[in-house]
Chains A and B, each alone.
Chain A
Amino acid sequence: MDKTTVRMQQIALQTLANGEVDVILGWKKGDEWYDSYPVVINDINETAELIWDAFCVNNLSKYLITELKKNLRIGVFLKGCDSLAFNQLVIDNRIDSERVVIFGLPCPGMIDPQKVKHAGLNKGLLKVERTGDKIVFITKEGVKEYIGRSFDYDKCLNCRCPNPVVSKYMLSDAVTRTDEEQYFPDVTEIEKMPLEARYDYWTKQFSKCIKCYACRNICPLCSCETCVFDNIAAGVSSKADADCEQQFFHIIRAYHVAGRCVDCGECSRVCPVGIPLEKLNRKIIKDINQLYGDYTADTDIAKSPPLGTYKVDDFDPFDGSKQGGKK
């Protein structure tokens, strides 16, 4: 068995048994090779079913909000990006970190089942094992080995935070990434488009939206008690299938996560119609970094978020004396 999975099961057993936590949030394996799904367990006998593999892509931090309402102490497994979301939820007062024990999982990257399928490797596939960048495909016929990251989710290829930024128990050694980080190439590409082309691009993308709200539901930061889009009285949402409704939805959502988005890329991953939502969020992150100095949401909860705080020397683009108008 995978070393980290062994450690995972041990720590779950230990902390449940000694009463450090009441429940554990982790993943179990489903019937398919790509199916690792989130579970809440409180039975020590179930700890042996917990699993860590290249498909534990779901971020467990969001589940803490509901689980913590039951006044329990919770142990939770968090990858690098999940830990950023955890921090943001703490900043937003959505969870009480005192009652959470974090088991940190340095993450080499998650595998995109679509890429496996495209490579034709899914036939007869039983299991995929990953150690660092070595990926082993176990099929009925035999075993195939690959080195490299060609099966990683696109979002993982752009990962800026493979190691948890907060944890009580770290379950494996830190992952080091030496490849040149190209953080905003996708954004720069869109910025280069002429205004009209850009508008057309997004109009086309948003018009695909079927308002299933999957992006919002998966987003660790879309965690309001009642989302404005579910609050009829607020008058922001409408059922009409009109371009403007979909555009409103996405733009409002982008603003609601602006300055808080941890760029985990989950929104794009789950979108059934393939809207590249992460580009919108990344554009905002890039702008914030440019205007208010390097700020990566939530690597440090003590840092105050630039969009929610005012400093006397803040950049002020509306100041007529500094720009705009006739020269």
Chain B
Amino acid sequence: MPRIGAFVCWCGTNIAGTVDIEQVVQAVSEMSGIVYVKDYQYMCSEVGQNLVKTAIKEWQLERVIIASCSPRMHENTFRKAAKAAGLNPYLVEVANIREHCSWVHKNKEEATKKAIALIRAAVAKASLNTELIAKEIDVENRALVIGGGIAGIQTALDIAEAGYQVDVIEKSPSIGGKMAQIDKTFPTLDCSACILTPKMVDVASHPNINLYTYSEIESVNGFVGNFEVTIKQKARSVNLEKCTGCGICTEKCPSRKSKSEFDEGLRTRGAIYTPFPQAVPNVPVIDREHCLKFNTGKCGICEKLCPAGAIEFGQEDVLVTKKYGAVVVATGFDIIDLDKFGEYQYQNHPDVLTSLEFERLTNAAGPTAGKFIRPSNNKRPEKVVFIQCVGSRDVSSRGKSYCSKICCMYTAKQAMLIKDKYPDIEVYVFYIDVRTPGKNFDEFQRRAVEEYGVNYIKGMVGKIFPAGDKLIVHGVDSFTGDTLKIEADMVVLAAAAQAKPDAEVLGRKLAISTDTNNFFTEAHPKLRPVETHSAGIYLAGACQGPKDIPETVAQAGAAAAKVIGLLSKRKLVSNPCVSVVNEDLCNGCLSCLKICPYDAIAAKELATNNHGITSKRIVAKVNEALCQGCGGCTVACRPGAIDLKGFTNKQITAEVDALCH
């Protein structure tokens, strides 16, 4: 039995409030192998770490148990401390008596019992720990950014400025994201295009940035420092190099029935189109579903007219595989579909708009060239009603339970923009609460009320009835209890923000998790807000949760800083907790090879001697540089031939046995 020392942390009252430390110390001191026990208020502090270091030396400890918070939090801290005291860091075992115990229990007696059991399990495991030696791995010093909205743009620029290569993958034909669609931006009301398009140009022209637009992630392999990503470049049907962006083709294309995605369907576009004039790259794409040439074989007008000879009907999707050291996910968000909100007549009436459609309608480059008119009759509206929280803070199945965070501000912005240009238009806003925490945000919203005279009504809209060319909005003012009927000409719905529909699928490809609302999950909501649980993969922007531009840009910078930090290391220390194969036991079934998510296992041929007859058989072989120690293979292996160092089957069984004791 090795000499084991145990260190019990109070974590202030976090642990000590629910776990009787004295009793734990008493019980632990009686466990077999334990030669030393010490408790302290904050074991992770310098004083606490010194307690560990000193005890290792004075008591010649061969194993160290730290009973404290989750190993995610401080395992590394204590491994380093042990190393400094001359003990192999992998001889340290953490018993999580905070997240797994004190935080989830109220009854002190039970929690104390559980803490003792968890430590007993850790002691059982630690007795079987062996010294492990970490190796070094190389880092590919190129980064990948997925999504070319403002989040992706800012991340890419920051990384590129630090001198590293960045590839940006954008699903749509142009970068820009939602910000490109927006008219003016809160809280300063500067024009979105004026602050965004220069950045888009910077991305396109930066020598360190490589753009893959109209492209998607096909597959992701590898791990931190060494991701191998296959990108699918969808057939654009236009040669990116040859096209000069003259736009003749998009003008002359006779197929004009498709709705412009960029203009939220408020305008049609040709089958060959550039989403918007400032698109980057300024190269059109052919929407094959609507192209006459692809459907009937006839037409080909664009090909005939293109002075650069850039039209290539024969293009096919291309797969490109490249290596990256780090990945940033910046795939943004969507607003919800309103088909379940029949009471607002969105499906039935052209003058009921989503907030995003409204942005296009008021945009100088939009479908009406900025003229503020009703889509139904091209006349200027006299009364406009905004409805907030459409599908936000809605616990019913048709909505989202969370607050979309940006709608209070953009609604105030939109209301104010109307009043600013057309002071005679009456503007109403129905709201549940106005939430404007942010620098200069509350002041901004108050201006809408105080300076511009926007009528804010706390209350809900029950139903909208179209009557003649009016929309009768039936609502309740919850302050006075009065029912209201407003004869509006236009209604704008602040539809909830939601995660991208393909977020979960992308998450699975990247092995990162999504929350119950399908937004990507950060590693720690406070301390690791831009990291994911997969090392080397970071988050930026609204794909992690609804965000406005200031927050998005701040997060993008943070993600870039993390990436730069990673890429600046020439070598990473690899995890020595990797799998090993016992060749005598291995059947060569290669179940492990099939299940390994990191392609770390290969087949190897072995010559065996069987009563004088040599024959060949297959066994599995682990590539230690690729193995991430997930342990998937160990459970797939029937004879138990493959085992994970640091988490051997025996160690795990010993833990379970100790728990069941």
Contact = CB atoms under 8 A, between A and B. Distances in A.
B639 A228 contact: yes
Given A226-B639, A308-B591, 7 more contacts: A92-B588, A93-B618, A225-B587, A227-B639, A228-B640, A309-B595, A312-B508
A290 interface: no
B509 interface: yes
Interface string B88-128: 00000000000000000000000000000000000000000
Contact of A235 (B584, B595, B653): B653
A94 interface: yes
Interface string A213-230: 000000000011111100
A256 B508 CA distance: 27
B640 A234 contact: yes
Interface of A: 68-71, 92-94, 223-228, 231, 234-236, 256, 304, 308-310, 312-313, 320-321
Nearest to B508: A312
B508 A94 contact: no
Contact of A226 (B505, B514, B517, B584): B584
Contact of B638 (A68, A70, A228, A309): A228
B163 to A, nearest CB: 35
Contact of A92 (B584, B587, B615): B587
Nearest to B618: A93
Contact of B585 (A68, A225, A320): A225
B575 interface: no
B590 interface: yes
Contacts of A312: 505, 508-509
Contacts of A224: 585, 587, 638-639
11 contacts: A69-B613, A69-B615, A92-B588, A225-B585, A225-B586, A228-B639, A231-B639, A231-B640, A308-B591, A312-B505, A312-B509
A223 B586 CA distance: 11
Given A234-B640, A308-B636, A310-B597, A71 B615 contact: yes
B639 A225 contact: yes
A236 B585 CA distance: 15
A69 B606 CA distance: 13
A219 to B, nearest CB: 12
B610 interface: yes
A320 B516 contact: yes
Contacts of B129: none
B475 to A, nearest CB: 30
Given A231-B639, A312-B509, A225 B584 contact: yes
Contacts of B614: 71
B649 interface: yes
Given A92-B589, A224-B638, A235 B650 contact: yes
B585 A94 contact: no
A287 to B, nearest CB: 18
Interface in B614-645: 614-615, 618, 636, 638-640
Contacts of B589: 92-94
Contacts of A69: 610, 613, 615
Contacts of B584: 225-226
Given A236-B640, A312-B509, A70 B613 contact: yes
B588 to A, nearest CB: 4
A223 B587 contact: yes
A279 B177 CA distance: 55
Contacts of B518: 321
B252 interface: no
B615 A310 contact: no
Contacts of B588: 92-94
Interface in B425-484: none
B257 interface: no
B595 A310 contact: yes
A73 to B, nearest CB: 13
A71 B617 CA distance: 11
A13 to B, nearest CB: 26
A69 B611 CA distance: 10
A70 B614 CA distance: 8
A284 to B, nearest CB: 15
Interface string B558-599: 000000000000000000000000001111111100110100
Contacts of B603: 93
List of 3 A-B pairs having minimum Cβ-Cβ separation, nearest first: A92-B589, A224-B639, A93-B588
Contacts of B587: 92-94, 223-225
Interface in B166-219: none
A229 B639 CA distance: 9
A313 B504 CA distance: 10
Nearest to B636: A308
A226 B613 CA distance: 19
Contacts of A313: 505
Given A93-B618, A310-B595, A321-B516, A234 B649 contact: yes
Contacts of B517: 321
Interface in B307-332: none
B502 to A, nearest CB: 10
A309 B590 CA distance: 12
A236 B643 CA distance: 14
Given A93-B618, A312-B505, A321-B518, A256 B595 contact: no
A228 B509 CA distance: 34
**Most chain A CB atoms below 10 A, which of B516, B518, B639, B653:** B639
A79 B38 CA distance: 68
A92 B593 CA distance: 12
A112 B124 CA distance: 51
A228 B650 CA distance: 13
A234 B518 CA distance: 41
Nearest to A222: B638
Contacts of A256: 638
A8 B509 CA distance: 53
A234 B653 CA distance: 10
Given A308-B595, A320-B516, A93 B639 contact: no
Contacts of A320: 516
A234 B582 CA distance: 12
A78 to B, nearest CB: 21
Contacts of A227: 639
Contacts of B597: 310
A308 B615 contact: no
Interface string B64-98: 00000000000000000000000000000000000
B357 to A, nearest CB: 29
A319 to B, nearest CB: 8
A308 B594 contact: yes
Contacts of B615: 68-71
Contacts of A231: 585, 639-640
A236 B584 CA distance: 18
A96 B591 CA distance: 17
A270 B587 CA distance: 25
A327 to B, nearest CB: 9
A194 to B, nearest CB: 27
Given A93-B587, A231-B585, A321-B518, A71 B613 contact: yes
A312 B141 CA distance: 28
B220 to A, nearest CB: 11
Nearest to B588: A93
B541 to A, nearest CB: 21
A93 B585 contact: no
Nearest to B585: A226
A313 B502 CA distance: 11
A204 B316 CA distance: 63
B608 to A, nearest CB: 8
A308 B589 CA distance: 11
**Most chain A CB atoms below 10 A, which of B584, B587, B649:** B587
B414 to A, nearest CB: 32
Contacts of B640: 228, 231, 234, 236
Contacts of B638: 224, 228, 256
Nearest to B650: A235
B283 to A, nearest CB: 31
A87 to B, nearest CB: 14
